[in-house]
Amino acid sequence: MQSNQLFTLFRLYIYSLIHSFTHSLIHSLIILLGANLGDRAQTLRRAADLLSERVGLVVQASGLYETAAWGVVDQPAFLNQVLLLETELEPEAVLDQTQAIETELGRIRHEHWGARHIDIDILYYDQKIIQTSRLIVPHPYLHQRRFTLVPLAEIAPEFVHPLLGKTAVELLGECVDMSDVKEI
C-alpha cells in the first residue's frame, strides 16, 4: 500500500472516530406536554419553543390530542402532545430546564393531578433506566395512559420501552385505559 493510500485510510479512521464521539453526546429525548388551562394550544407551542431553545432540537412533534382529564375528572379537558428532541444535556439537567419552563409558563399547582397551565414529563431518555429521588425514566405511568401512548405511537411507533421490552404500538395495543383521545 502506498503512503498516500495509508494516509487516506488514517484520515477516514479519524473522521469515523470523531463522528462516533460527537454522536454519543447526542441523546434522544421524548417528552409529553399537557395543558388544561388558558389557551392550551398556545401554551404547548410556547413550551416547544422554549424546549428547542434550552434543551435541544425538536426533531418530531405529534399532533395535538384532546383527552378528558385523568385521575381527577371534574376539570377541563387536557391537550397533549409528544415531542422527540435531540439533546446534549444530561437527564437531571433536562429536568431542571423542564421545571423552569413549567414555572415560567405559569403552572398553578392546586392538587396532585389537578389543573395546570403546563405539565412537562420526560418519557424516555435514550434507552436509559433512571431512578433517583427527582427523576424516574421511563416515566412510570406512560404505558398506562392512552393520552401518552397515542401521540407517542404517532411519532415513535417503534421506540422500545427499556423495561417492558415493547414498542409504543405494542403498548398502545395492550393499554386498558379506554379514554377517548381525539386529534384536533
| Residue numbers at the binding site for ligand AMP (CB under 6 A) | 119, 121-122, 134-137, 139
* Minimum distance from residue 110 beta carbon to ligand AMP (Å): 11
What is the phi-psi region of residue 173: left when phi exceeds 0, alpha when psi lies from -120 to 50, beta otherwise?
A: alpha
Nearest to ligand AMP of 21, 111 (CB atom): 111
* Minimum distance from residue 102 beta carbon to ligand AMP (Å): 7
Angle between helical axes of 91-104 and 40-54 (0-180°, round to 10)? 140
Nearest to ligand AMP of 95, 150 (CB atom): 95
**Cell 433536562 found at:** 94
Nearest to ligand AMP of 11, 134 (CB atom): 134
Nearest to ligand AMP of 1, 73 (CB atom): 73
The answer to whether the CB of 166 falls within 8 A of the CB of 160 is yes
State the catalytic residues. Answer: 107, 116, 119, 121
Residue 34 φ then ψ, to 5°: -145, 140
